Amino acid sequence: MSKTTIILGGAYGGIIILLVFVFFGHPQTDPSHYSIIPNSDNNLLATSSSSPSLSLADLFAKSEDGVVLVKVIKVGDSPNNRDIGSGIVYDYDGHIVTNNHVVENADKISVIFHDGNSLKATVVGADPFADLAVIKVNATASVFHPLTLGDSSNLRIGDAVAAIGSPFGLTGSMTSGIVSQVGRLLVTPDTENFSIPNVIQTDAAINPGNSGGPLLNMQGQVIGINTAIQSSTGEFSGIGFAIPSNSIKRIVPALIKDGTYTHPWLGISGTSIDSDLADTLGLPVSSGFMIQEVVKQSPAEKAGLRGYNSTKTVDGTNYKIGGDIIVGIDGIQISKIEDILNYLEDQKQVGDKITMQIIRDDQTINVYLILEKRPDHKNQ
């Protein structure tokens, strides 16, 4: 949907900072390539966040049966080349939540439970824009031990968390750390024109193979699905990312029901404004989001939003200027692109009408826009 200030890498080891989707595969696999609607009745939702904290040992004992190893043979791979990720038991119907990049293009999927029981699985639904997928195994309800979904909106920087998964294929591994930040933006290689909002940053050790496993609070509630790391080597460097549980609550029921999830879309790209950029370009505000490009036939174009109309060169750098500056949506102040994406994903749906406060020609005006379905990522 928009450009962000996050810089992501391409080839494994090819740049200093690299975003690696924490996926474990056969040796020739390039890890950098994988760079509250009610849940189903059988799924467990947390009713209170005031439960006493558990020790790490008790937390693992409580959660281990709800974490699975996911083995995948991709289309075109030989049976000896298996990629490995993790997953969480979602309900008593056999639904397992994992990452889309773990099971995308899968030919065969096996789920191995903590007790060693292995079952075949099929993909029920997938959302590449959130890097979430649901797979299903058929077994009696007694086999399944669903994990409880917590409320990721309650997370605070510094909260203790733990990750369980299969780093490098080492099943049932646990690491611990803290929430380093919330509200991050994440870009996946297959959806590079769009960002995953509200991502949790943690320093809990996450490595290839942890993909799809849970990030837990100290009450044993799932507050995120581990999905990526930022690293110069492709291995743990203290910066990991997880898709928040509130996104799981919203998206997974739709994946189970319909196989897909529709995200709202504006159709703009541009840059977030800070005081330095405002001084450099002589902008009328020191925060907000300056539109540079408006996608044709997008909701933004239909609403009359405008992109850049001129360029300005400062110290050898060319800037696209003159576009509308978004400073508010529905009365909520907008300081940067994260504010826009987080609000749309958490509060709005396709078909909703929003009021955007923009600055155009040094005047603040309101623009009304109807959100539409985000285009298919394969066509971007």
Among candidate residues 92, 150, 152, 102, the one with its CA nearest the CA of residue 126:
102
pLDDT at 31: 32
Report pLDDT for 217. Answer: 97
Give pLDDT, residue 193.
67
Q: What span, in angstroms and rounded, lies between the C-alpha atoms of 117 and 340?
A: 44
CA distance 74 to 23: 13
Which CATH code for domain 18-258? Answer: 2.40.10.120
Q: Quick one: pLDDT at residue 191?
A: 58
- Report domain extents, the chain: 18-258, 264-379
Q: How far apart are CA 210 and CA 242, in angstroms?
A: 10
pLDDT along the chain (380 residues), means of 10: 28 34 41 32 54 92 96 83 91 97 94 94 95 96 96 96 91 93 80 80 90 96 90 69 95 97 94 95 96 96 96 92 97 94 92 97 96 72
Q: CB-based contacts of 135: which residues, under 8 Å, 6+ apart?
A: 70, 87, 95, 96, 98, 103, 109, 111, 121, 122, 123, 124
Helix ranges restricted to H, 33-106:
56-63, 100-103
Whole-angstrom Cα Rg for the chain? 21
pLDDT at position 44 is 60
**pLDDT for residue 234:** 61
CA distance 89 to 69: 11
Neighbours of 137 (CB within 10 A): 22
- Tell me how far CA of residue 171 lies from CA of 80, 85, 166, 241, 358, in angstroms: 19, 10, 4, 20, 51
Give whole-number Cα distances, 83 to 35, 74, 86, 192, 303, in Å: 14, 8, 11, 23, 45
C-alpha–C-alpha distance, residues 19 and 31, integer Å: 9
CA atoms of 123 and 117, how far apart (whole Å)? 19
Predicted local confidence at residue 173, as pLDDT: 92
Given phi > 0 = left and psi -120 to 50 = alpha, else beta, which region is 372? beta
pLDDT at 45: 59
Could you tell me which CATH number the domain at 264-379 has? 2.30.42.10
Contacts of 2 (CB under 8 A, 6+ apart): 194, 195, 266, 268, 269, 270, 289, 337, 340, 341
Q: What is the token pair recorded at 176?
A: 């611990």
For residue 228, the model assigns a pLDDT of 80
Catalytic residues: 101, 131, 211
